[in-house]
Structure 1
Amino acid sequence: MAQSTFDRHIADERLELLVHSITDYAIYMLDPTGRIATWNAGARRFKGYEAEEVLGEHFSKFFLAEDRRDGLPSRILDTAAREGRFEAEGWRVRKGGTKFLAHVVVDRIQGEDGELLGFAKVTRDVTEKRQKEQALFDSELQFRMLVQGVRDYAIYMLDPTGHVTNWNLGAQTIKGFNASEIVGQHFSRFYTEQDRARGAPAAALETALREGKFEAEAQRVRKDGSLFWAHVMLEPIYKDSGEHIGFAKVTRDITEKKRAEEELRETQEALLQSQKLQALGELAGGIAHDFNNLMTVVRGTADMLLRKKDLAEEKRTRYLHVLLETAERATSLTAQLLAFARRQPLEPEVIDLSVRLDALGEMLQRTLSSQYELELDLAPALWRIEIDPTGLETALLNAVVNARDAMPSGGKITISTRNVREGNNEMVSLSISDMGKGISPEQLDRVFEPFFTTKPAGKGTGLGLSQLHGFAVQSGGSVKISSKVGHGTTLDIRLPRTDKPVKGRGMEQSNISLPEGLTILLVEDSEHVRYFGRQLLEDLGCHVIEACDADEGLALLENNAVDLVFSDIVMPGRTGIELAQEIRRTRPALPILLASGYSSKQFIPIDQREFPIMRKPYTFEAVAQAILELIEEVKIPQRVCLMQPPLHAGAQGGVPVGPQLST
């Protein structure tokens, strides 16, 4: 028994030590009348009194004057005595008179016989906690007031399944529903029937969960059934624990914005159409002017040849050469137009640009007078490119002529090449620079437009740079121009690198030889072109069978032995490609050569063509070379007959045969 009393005494001492060491709670005892019997460190910290200052004092001294006047301390003790416990929050006073918000618990202490011995009082300072809670409440209240007051945005929440849980004034304004009509409804009711049928609402929720956000512009439905354009944002909401509790949804009515964009688009289209009409007028005027000049020469020369039948052979030959040179100019003009339109079929070859330019340098220098210096800055080990050599030479010549015209008093023109990398692309750069007067920023923006020229009236067609631009783009590259007034201009053409090998140039055209007695089916709907095509083939020593369209050609094939078919592409009825495909189906070994000036329907990259295509107007040598390559593929026995080109094939650079018509 003595030992038990000793243990209990030790336990009481430990408990007392524990209570007195606690600083976060004021823990002390009151006697039955409310006077303070004990005082711990937490009470001293909260209330500011030392133990000797408060022991024996009534606990009401910590209450506000009005609470004492209203009898609150007595009611607390009465409640604790009667019910065993009192708990509440209220304002209390520290030693210095400052107030703090306290959470108070008063418990009845009684003896074994039930006699009231006093009260245990625990007080905790919750001022800071309540201030934070009040600040959070005030912030949330302000936010709710802000959200509810916004009229231009529909801001509301959805539960995890997509049902509306709240509704602001903006949502009511935009969509027409009151909160009582829509809270609890699924947000899919704002979608069109088509969007609901394809599962758009569910997809939006899934995207928001997967990616953290869903954003779109789409049509939505108002309460009255009318449609409006909406910009929609949907984001998932999570608790601090990571639990998904719903979605925040913001919708903005962008109907007016969409209407303004549509009006702007229509205005731009109208402006573009006006610009097209203006360009068409410039096109008609430019072509009419240039072709009238060419036709003046052609008509005058032809008239002279017809009227003066006794012309000396030397003069007659000179007139014929004039005709051929004029035809070359017309061909060049047509090529510029087609290149600008990106419709001229290209016949690319793999070349080393530095080697090609080195060979062209002398020819380009001859186009310049002695007051101009042409400098070639050609990079060694240049990457190979695959381009149409004729198009390249035409583009280069146009650029050099422009550079020359920009320096009327003479100067230096520099042509340079180098390898460049553009991101993951490997390109070859060809730049042409001059030291001329330069181009103003206003004009620089228009230099690639058709028929726009910085030269004086009558000094340029405006096709040169547009042709160069069309050629570069059609070749898979690009072209840029930079200029500074008074400091010259630089054109930079970028062409893609190829890993294909450079092919040999083949036999010289002057030594072309064909097997004797070849029979060729010529299919051409134009009577004039067909006539001249027949003359050319007969000059090559071939026997020619003529057809004016694909059906006639197929009929002639049934009754004639033919070694090769030479057909136009664009014809009434079946095209030349359809004719070739039909022949390939029934006579797979029969060589077929197609010809065309241009057609967007038959414009096919060279590596995707079923059949070789020859560009119109074609030359004597080009036709002979193409026929030779085709018949060698099928091993037609070659009875050598050296072809001597007729007079019209001897002009420098190859001369078109027949009238310069394009299908």
Structure 2
Amino acid sequence: MSTSEFQKQPPAETFQRLVDAITDYALYMLDTEGRIVTWNAGAERFKGYASDEIIGEHFSRFFTQEDRDAGLPARALATAAREGRFEAEGWRVRKDGTRFWANAVLDPIRDDAGRLIGFAKITRDITERKDRERALRESERRFQLLVGSVDDYAIYMLDTQGHVATWNAGARRFKGYEAEEIIGEHFSRFFLPEDRRDGLPSRILKTAAEKKRFEMEGWRLRKDGTKFLAHVVVDAIHEDGDLVGFAKITRDITEKRRLEQATYDSALQLRMLVQGVRDYAIYMLDTRGRITTWNSGARAIKGYEEEEVLGQHFSLFYTEEDRVRGRPVTALETSLREGKFEAQAQRVRKDGSLFWAHVLIDPIYNELGEHVGFAKITRDISDRKLVEAELRQTQEALLQSQKLQALGELAGGIAHDFNNMMTVMRGSADFMLRQPDLPVDKRNRYLNVMLETAERATSLTSQLLAFARRQPLEPEVVDLSVRLDALGEMLQRTLGSLFELKLDLAPALWLVEVDPTGLEAALLNAVLNARDAMPGGGRITITTRNVTRAGEDGVTLLISDTGHGISPETLQRVFEPFFTTKPTGKGTGLGLSQIHGYALQSGGSASIESEVGHGTTVEVWLPRTARQRERALVPAGDTQVPAGLRVLVVEDSEHVRYFARQLLDDLGCKVIEASNGNEALELMKAHSVDLVFSDIVMPGMNGLELAKRIKETFEDVPVLLASGYSSKQFIPKNEREFPILRKPYKIETLAAGINQLAGTMPGRRLDWKASEPPSVNAQIRVP
């Protein structure tokens, strides 16, 4: 339709077309009762109703149930009719039941006579606008809460003249004013009098207005007149390009400045302290090992001035050999990895001279945990090293003197005892040789005396070996309480009726791994020493306990007496070899020393406590073992071995070889002899042999080497070894290939060792009478 055609339309029709074209507003008419008589496109879009659905319906259906119950539709019509207009905002309801926030205007329609004929209703959906307004109000509310709750900062606003317009909790805390006391007052009242006279408040506002920001630190006043150091920021606030005021943020930094000053003073004092230390070189390195600080001690010890070493790598102080080995790099890496590096080594001064240094390097980290360098402390310990060397020389001289003294005491003790033993042995043997027709019972008495004397000599030799740490120990896993309980009766008989033996043995004792024979010898030595300390009788107490020392579990064995005790000067020497307070011929001085040596060989320790008049306590501490107990091996009482056994005896000592042959002859064996390993191998090529019985310690090829050669060349021939030393000195038990017999041995022990190997001899089997084969005693070990 052209413009001219549109203009020819009747006015009412033209107006209707305009109303129908509007979609952002619901425009419709109501009759005087509020029923809908017209409906436009905007109304259909907002409300959801088509015109044929809604015309004739009452407009109250667009109201919420709450508003209808409150009579709002009727009041709106009445107000519009009475006052000529009704306008409101509120929730309205669409056809689908959803709500929207509406701005509604209701105007009355009157005819030419002024009579009310209806109402014009205009509604607009302002939901989005209300949401934005609500969000803005919520944001403002939250902002006010935020600003109001901040108490570490004074945050407030000034107008363009500098009068306080707002006041938060931080401002109240810092300044001391309540909001009603300060709002409307000029902010210059917070300034010192001299700052007000100098016009500082005005300059602050002028600068902020021109440059949009002003920042400074200075003294300010609280309500009570006290001063505080403040950090101040003033920002200009503009609206539509016009200055409307200022935002002011103030923070009390008095404590912060005090701490900073204290830190500075402390750092200064520390620097003065470090610089004043001359006995230690204290300096810092960067992460690569370059020197960044240097103190007077470093200058005195190393000889370099500060300007000579700053920026240099600290390897400058190392010897050329240490630099080639990478010791400087290793030191820094160790410090980083383990948190510290510490060492004693030689270092080089500026003049090229060497000195002994104690060195400590610690890594340095900043507050973020980042590695920023190293702290290095060096001390010249050359004088200490010299004193230590002199002390070692003195100790060595003293030790040599003590050894000579010990040898002298040995001559008076051991030699005397051995002479007594040899007198008995020689006299008995000479008497039997001169009287070959002695009665059997008398001859047997002489032989028994000789055997007892030989046992005493063996025990003395065992003690001597203990002090040389060569005692032949063969450890077993034992429960000391069980073992000592079994020995109690024997010990009581040994002590006699004048002495009471008390056993205080802990149950559930931890297991230890010790040589039982050595243990019994050590215990017997301690008990006999205790007996000799109580000539008139007394009580001896043997105690066992579980004890943990320095984080290691172990068992203590205590032997206590009620004797006369030991003086302090004597107590210091009781563990020395050959030291004794007994008269000549009454002891060798090896008893307590044997206990000490046995404890050390067993991985433990021995100590003694005593007080004159209050008795003595000897303590042996032995480490706990994780191994389990094995079945105890005992020598067989039966000396039977496979008949006609062919045995090769290898022994470099002619007398021992003769003794071994006699024992084997008595066992019914056929024996051939060799004095060394090479001779034995040659004999085995020429003779058929069932078993080789060899000593371990021999010149040239030793017994272990011979056994391995036999195993390689004559793999079917078993080897039984013998030694007067501990088998542990040659090969650990769990790696042992061959059984080892301890010297001196008896015919029963030798028979048990042979029978232990009888099952490995080709064609040799024995019909044992017992329920199981006899075992070699604890001196024999078969892997």
Q: When the two structures are superposed, what TM-score results if normalisation uses the length of structure 1?
A: 0.74
**Where does structure 2 lack aligned partners over 5 or more consecutive residues?**
1-143, 236-245, 770-776, 778-783
Contact 1:514 1:640 in 2 (8 A): no
Looking at structure 2, the residues matched to 606 and 329 of structure 1 have their Cα atoms a distance apart, in angstroms, of: 28
Partner of 1:196: 323
Out of 429, 432, 451, the residue aligned to residue 305 of structure 1 is 432
Q: Give the direction of change, closer, same or farther, for the CA distance of 1:127–1:403 in structure 2 (3 Å limit).
A: closer
Partner of 1:339: 466
Instruction: Indicate yes or no: 2:354 matched with 1:236.
Output: no
How many pairs are equivalent? Answer: 610
Give 1:422's aligned amino acid: T
Contact 1:516 1:641 in 2 (8 A): no
Instruction: Indicate yes or no: 2:253 matched with 1:163.
Output: no
- 1:514 counterpart SS class: coil
Cα offsets for 1:61-120 (capped at 9, x unmatched): 94499x99xx9999999999x99999998999999999998999999xxxxxxxxxxxx9
Partner of 1:502: 631
Looking at structure 1, the residues matched to 200 and 459 of structure 2 have their Cα atoms a distance apart, in angstroms, of: 110
Partner of 2:535: 408
Looking at structure 2, the residues matched to 106 and 366 of structure 1 have their Cα atoms a distance apart, in angstroms, of: 104
Instruction: Indicate yes or no: 2:448 matched with 1:321.
Output: yes
Give 1:238's aligned amino acid: N
Contact 2:332 2:361 in 1 (8 A): no
Looking at structure 1, the residues matched to 709 and 586 of structure 2 have their Cα atoms a distance apart, in angstroms, of: 50
Contact 1:216 1:232 in 2 (8 A): yes
Q: Give the direction of change, closer, same or farther, for the CA distance of 1:145–1:459 in structure 2 (3 Å limit).
A: same
Looking at structure 1, the residues matched to 668 and 212 of structure 2 have their Cα atoms a distance apart, in angstroms, of: 130
Looking at structure 1, the residues matched to 322 and 691 of structure 2 have their Cα atoms a distance apart, in angstroms, of: 59
Contact 2:499 2:537 in 1 (8 A): yes
Instruction: Indicate yes or no: 2:765 matched with 1:627.
Output: no
Out of 593, 604, 607, the residue aligned to residue 720 of structure 2 is 593
Q: What does 1:268-287 align with in structure 2 at a 5 Å threshold? A: 268-287=395-414
Instruction: Indicate yes or no: 2:308 matched with 1:181.
Output: yes
- 1:180 counterpart SS class: helix
Q: Give the direction of change, closer, same or farther, for the CA distance of 1:409–1:155 in structure 2 (3 Å limit).
A: closer
Give 1:532's aligned amino acid: F
Partner of 2:83: none
Out of 558, 575, 579, the residue aligned to residue 685 of structure 2 is 558
Cα offsets for 1:554-606 (capped at 9, x unmatched): 11111011111111121121111111111111112212111222279944444
Give 2:673's aligned amino acid: E
Q: CA RMSD in A?
A: 5.1
Partner of 2:491: 364
Give 1:397's aligned amino acid: L
Cα offsets for 1:410-464 (capped at 9, x unmatched): 2233445x56253786656554333222233443343332222343444222112
- 1:322 counterpart SS class: helix
Looking at structure 2, the residues matched to 208 and 385 of structure 1 have their Cα atoms a distance apart, in angstroms, of: 40
Looking at structure 1, the residues matched to 759 and 216 of structure 2 have their Cα atoms a distance apart, in angstroms, of: 110
RCO (CA 8 Å, sep 6+): is it higher in 1 or 2? Answer: 1
Partner of 1:420: 546
Give 1:161's aligned amino acid: R
Looking at structure 2, the residues matched to 330 and 254 of structure 1 have their Cα atoms a distance apart, in angstroms, of: 52
Aligned-pair distance for 1:493?
4.1
Contact 1:238 1:246 in 2 (8 A): no
Q: Give the direction of change, closer, same or farther, for the CA distance of 1:131–1:373 in structure 2 (3 Å limit).
A: closer
Q: Give the direction of change, closer, same or farther, for the CA distance of 1:88–1:455 in structure 2 (3 Å limit).
A: same
Aligned-pair distance for 1:552?
1.0
Looking at structure 2, the residues matched to 329 and 582 of structure 1 have their Cα atoms a distance apart, in angstroms, of: 37
Cα offsets for 1:497-532 (capped at 9, x unmatched): 552332464642xx3212222221111111222222
Looking at structure 2, the residues matched to 342 and 571 of structure 1 have their Cα atoms a distance apart, in angstroms, of: 20
Partner of 2:394: 267
Aligned-pair distance for 1:341?
2.8
Contact 2:192 2:219 in 1 (8 A): no
Instruction: Indicate yes or no: 2:366 matched with 1:223.
Output: no
Q: Percent identity?
A: 62
Looking at structure 2, the residues matched to 572 and 153 of structure 1 have their Cα atoms a distance apart, in angstroms, of: 58
Aligned-pair distance for 1:159?
3.2
Looking at structure 1, the residues matched to 215 and 296 of structure 2 have their Cα atoms a distance apart, in angstroms, of: 42
Aligned-pair distance for 1:130?
6.6
Aligned-pair distance for 1:154?
2.8
Q: Give the direction of change, closer, same or farther, for the CA distance of 1:636–1:183 in structure 2 (3 Å limit).
A: same
Partner of 2:657: 530
Q: Give the direction of change, closer, same or farther, for the CA distance of 1:614–1:126 in structure 2 (3 Å limit).
A: closer
Looking at structure 2, the residues matched to 195 and 253 of structure 1 have their Cα atoms a distance apart, in angstroms, of: 18
Q: What does 1:139-158 align with in structure 2 at a 5 Å threshold? A: 139-158=266-285
- 1:513 counterpart SS class: coil
Q: What does 1:424-463 align with in structure 2 at a 5 Å threshold? A: 430-463=557-590
Aligned-pair distance for 1:553?
1.1
Looking at structure 2, the residues matched to 541 and 161 of structure 1 have their Cα atoms a distance apart, in angstroms, of: 81
Looking at structure 1, the residues matched to 488 and 365 of structure 2 have their Cα atoms a distance apart, in angstroms, of: 71
Looking at structure 2, the residues matched to 360 and 537 of structure 1 have their Cα atoms a distance apart, in angstroms, of: 33
Looking at structure 1, the residues matched to 441 and 348 of structure 2 have their Cα atoms a distance apart, in angstroms, of: 86
Aligned-pair distance for 1:326?
1.9
Give 2:628's aligned amino acid: D
Partner of 1:33: none
Looking at structure 2, the residues matched to 351 and 85 of structure 1 have their Cα atoms a distance apart, in angstroms, of: 88
- 1:291 counterpart SS class: helix
